[in-house]
Structure 1
Amino acid sequence: MTFLSVPPAFDWPFQFCAAVTVVCYVASVVTANVSQVDRLWTFLPTIYTAYYALLPLWPTHQPFFLVPYAPKSLGHAVLKDYSPRAVLMLALSVIWMCRLSYNTYRRGLFNLKDEDYRWAILRSQLPAWLFQLTNITFIAAIQNFLLLLLGMPAFTAAALQPHTDLSLSDYALAITALTILGLEFVADNQQYAFQTYKHAYLAHVKGNKGEPYDEKKQWLLARLDWTPSDARRGFVTKGLWRYSRHPNFACEQTFWWIMTLFPLASSSPPSLPSFPSLQILANPELRTAALMGFFRQAGLVLLPALALSTLFISSTLYTEAITRKKYQVAYAAYQKRVGMFLPIKAAVTGLFCDKHTDKLIWGEFYGSKASKSE
């Protein structure tokens, strides 16, 4: 059984992606809640990665629609044993899934009634027909296809490369990926601790009874010196957030860039294309074709990471537009002082400190124990 005219190697993933897309769209219409893909985001890349990493596990014929199978056309060399590289990638993806699922759970997004606040704002900004068009094309279809793409590096490792032992590049990338996931976990926890403190403080100011902020309930690296000025400012700027406006997003993109590079960094093809030599670049007749060929090949092999980064950059710009409208002066100062993803801007602007800007971002008593009694 094949899904339309999709190549056999992609038949089951496309079946599953199409089914999930339809379910997400129908559920979003029935519930008037378009965060259905958001709830599944934590699982789908790992499902696609697992399909390719575990190819020898599946039957060679599909008994009925949506049952995973490994077509015989993939070849005996692919189906006879597991790819150590693909299995390693699956293990890393499972760790990624656990981290994101934990953060999604405590934010309440697994609650079927919860919807990402950005969708509610977008709904209010667009005519109803245009929002529904956005829902079926981008929110349901394009996002699901992007999540399918994140499983393609495992396809390359399992189906296009020999199942050789792990190499030095695999170990180096795995260690780097685990480090990135650790940093992302810290960033998540710092954001969560800040939001917990902010809501507890603002509730106390309004005279509402609620659970007071308990630092001991937070993860160790998230027990930062939160102050009333932090709560009044409204957004987190301490910890990793002192060096990046979105350290969690930076880590998320970096993790999937690493996953994309796993098969490309190995000694087996496919690999990253070589950049044209200076001799070719100096020749006007060869330069244009050579550059176009390079970017076309690089774009194809790096497509999963490129697609995810494109989504993150566009969605982050939209998120920041919302945040800046809410916290106009302070967030503008934060954008001036700290980079969106990379810590380079914070390091450079730190050499030319503007006390007024720093006060808006970190408060007048930043770094002082006295700030807690502000």
Structure 2
Amino acid sequence: MAPILAIIELLRKGITPAFYWPVKFGIYTTATTYILSIITGNVSQVDRVWTFLPTIYTAYFALLPLWPKESPLPLLPYTPADVFPDVAQNYSARALLMLGLVVIWMFRLSYNTWRRGLFSLNDEDYRWAVLRQKIPPWFFQVVNLTFIAITQNIILFLLAVPAHIAAFQQPSQLSVSDYLLGSLALVDLVFEFTADNQQYSFQTYKQTGVINQNEWPGARIQWTPADAKRGFVTRGLWAWSRHPNFLCEQTFWVIITLFPLLAPEFPKLPAKPLSEITAFWPLTPAIVICMLFFSSTAFTESISLSKYPTSYKAYQQRVSMFVPFLTPVWGFLLQIQGKKDQVDAMLFGTDAATCNWFATLFISAYR
């Protein structure tokens, strides 16, 4: 306990006052998830709190006027007395809007995590089991400490930095950029929820062979035995992007990052309380989340490629990893090579124009 308190005190001397509590909370969360991973032998402890921590940090910054000046109990939030007075006394409409969007994001991710069983203390992300087999046990423990426990907790904290900046901007009212970005974020979450549901619907059919007619709208796809035999989903949004859920996840946090950056008040921020972060951090949340998902996706695809070497390689050639607008380009290149019909038949069960947006996403999804 003493070393943790010493680290907290050291960090307090070099950070803005509004970061005192989040940094303290993050250190304890990091230590807890790491210790639990050692005790249980299950390194998915961070995965179980991933759905909540960005919301907790964002809520702290958006609700700074709500918290007491001193913490009544250990780890309960508080607003230090030396936080910039306007921020400690007035709510930021922009930060509150961002909090609302992050709460919706939390409910979506928590629901998807719950139905997949990942809240169970016995469940572990399948990728960690694969990684264990590829590297020595001692090195896996190094990865567990440095990346799984420490780095991921830092990333979860960084996702709330835009709300921190927005809280200090103190806009008198929401701007056009706020309404535009808020609308885009909601649309993005709808697409991400749809991608989640399509994947879950496919995996359920793959395991049971039964089509659930009560799926969410957008996921009512008439799966076939050929789809199950292929082993991975290639219909709906997945006909346009190999990872539409990952694309939407990155896009959501890019949008959140842009809220304070596109606001009329940026960069008109109070210099003293934000001097430590304004020069470096505004773009950090978007950059780190995209770096994380790119590396994670590459690893995930290496696993899929080892399981389905022929069909998944064809999928990589036919469908873009993230950006849907590139998928027609990949199809055109395959057409030039005379391979498109063969690849389409392998992936979609037809050599027709299966990637038509309306036919794939809406007609097949709702019939």
Greater mean alpha carbon deviation, residues 342-351 or residues 185-194 = 342-351
Q: Which amino acid aligns with 1:173?
A: L
Greater mean alpha carbon deviation, residues 233-242 or residues 216-225 = 216-225
- Report whether the alignment pairs 1:362 with 2:343: no
Out of 150, 159, 162, which is 1:141 matched to? 150
Out of 310, 313, 316, which is 2:297 matched to? 316
Q: Which amino acid aligns with 1:195?
A: Q
2:82 partner SS: helix
Match of 1:306 in 2: 287
- 1-structure distance, mates of 2:167, 2:302: 41
Match of 1:346 in 2: 327
Structure 1 residues 100-111: aligned runs within 5 Å: 100-111=109-120
1:183 partner SS: helix
Q: Which amino acid aligns with 1:256?
A: W
Residue 301 (structure 1) shift: 1.7
Residue 364 (structure 1) shift: 4.1
Q: Which amino acid aligns with 1:336?
A: Q
Match of 1:26 in 2: 35
- 2-structure distance, mates of 1:37, 1:164: 37
Q: Let me know the Cα RMSD of the aligned residues.
A: 1.9
**How many percent of aligned residue pairs carry the same amino acid?**
54
Match of 2:55 in 1: 46
Match of 1:62 in 2: 71
Please say if residues 324 and 331 of structure 1, whose CA atoms lie closer than 8 Å, have aligned partners that are also in contact.
yes
Out of 200, 203, 223, which is 1:226 matched to? 223
Residue 3 (structure 1) shift: 3.7
- 1-structure distance, mates of 2:98, 2:281: 20
Residue 100 (structure 1) shift: 0.3
Q: Which TM-score applies when normalising by structure 1?
A: 0.85
Please say if residues 15 and 65 of structure 1, whose CA atoms lie closer than 8 Å, have aligned partners that are also in contact.
no
Match of 1:168 in 2: 176
- Report whether the alignment pairs 1:5 with 2:11: yes
Distance 1:67 1:218, change over 3 A: same
Residue 94 (structure 1) shift: 0.3
Residue 224 (structure 1) shift: 1.1
- Report whether the alignment pairs 1:128 with 2:137: yes
Residue 298 (structure 1) shift: 8.2
- 2-structure distance, mates of 1:121, 1:82: 46
Residue 155 (structure 1) shift: 0.3
Structure 2 unpaired stretches of 5+? 269-276, 360-367
Structure 1 unpaired stretches of 5+? 202-212, 272-295, 369-374
Residue 348 (structure 1) shift: 1.4
Out of 168, 190, 201, which is 1:193 matched to? 201
Residue 112 (structure 1) shift: 0.6
2:281 partner SS: helix
Please say if residues 85 and 170 of structure 1, whose CA atoms lie closer than 8 Å, have aligned partners that are also in contact.
yes
- 1-structure distance, mates of 2:178, 2:350: 47
CA deviations 1:324-371 (Å, max 9, x no partner) are 000000000000011110012211133354111111211248779xxx
Match of 1:181 in 2: 189
Please say if residues 311 and 347 of structure 2, whose CA atoms lie closer than 8 Å, have aligned partners that are also in contact.
yes
CA deviations 1:183-208 (Å, max 9, x no partner) are 0000000000000111112xxxxxxx
Q: Which amino acid aligns with 1:200?
A: T
Match of 2:362 in 1: none
